[in-house]
Amino acid sequence: MKASTLYYHLANVPQPEGEAPDGLGDKVNQMLNLAAWAGTAAGVLGIVITGAMMGISLKRGESSEHMSRLGMVLAGCCLIATAGPFASWIFE
């Protein structure tokens, strides 16, 4: 592909405006806040469930891989907590 043809195709790419349409920004922010709240609640619930499973297994004398499960839950919590700042850093 020639450089002039490539330039022609790239020059005709639409450039969207930097702002959301009226009213859409508030709805998107509300949805993202709800998703962040649900993710945080799921992380707390995951920690509680993992702790309960650890207690039940200890009482029964069973050994299980609860620490790896707890690690995965905590990694998910960290991912949820850093999603907003990371996206802001990428898109600004």
pLDDT in tens, 34-87: 998 999 999 999 999 998 988 888 777 776 778 888 889 999 999 988 988 888
Say how far apart CA 8 and CA 2 lie, in whole Å: 10
pTM (2 d.p.): 0.65
Alpha-carbon distance values, 34 to 1, 9, 58 (Å): 47, 40, 36
6 has a pLDDT exceeding 70 = no
Report the pLDDT value the prediction gives residue 30, as an integer from 0 to 100.
92
Report the pLDDT value the prediction gives residue 25, as an integer from 0 to 100.
84
Say how far apart CA 76 and CA 79 lie, in whole Å: 5
